[in-house]
Amino acid sequence: DFLSLSSNMLTGSIPSQLGQLQNLESLYLHENMLTGHITSHLGDLTMLDHLYLYNNMLTGSIPSQLGQLQNLGFLSLFGNELTGPISSHLGDLTMLSELHLYNNMLT
């Protein structure tokens, strides 16, 4: 299953309820105007392979819960306003083949 809402000029924060979509394999929310933090509830999407949140206005740090996504192969968070250290939990993503974090304010 996948959910693609990219390039729709969506505003506001990422709803925590997305974490209830247990069969979701791909989540595309890139190129919108989403703000606020990346919800830790995305870590509940254990089937997720693709997570594209790039080119929004997301702030805060990368939640450690994303390190629970053992099937995640593609993670794109570039072009946001993310801050803080890059979570060491991303090292737990053994299936990860692409990681895009550029154009943020990460340390």
How far apart are the C-alpha atoms of 21 and 83, rounded to whole Å? 27
Whole-angstrom CA distances from 55 to 4, 20, 29, 70 are 15, 24, 9, 24
Record the pTM: 0.95
Evaluate whether 17 touches 39 at the Cβ level (below 8 Å). no
How far apart are the C-alpha atoms of 24 and 40, rounded to whole Å? 16
pLDDT band at 87 (very low <50, low <70, confident <90, very high): confident
Average pLDDT of every residue of the chain: 96
Q: What is the DSSP letter of 93?
A: -
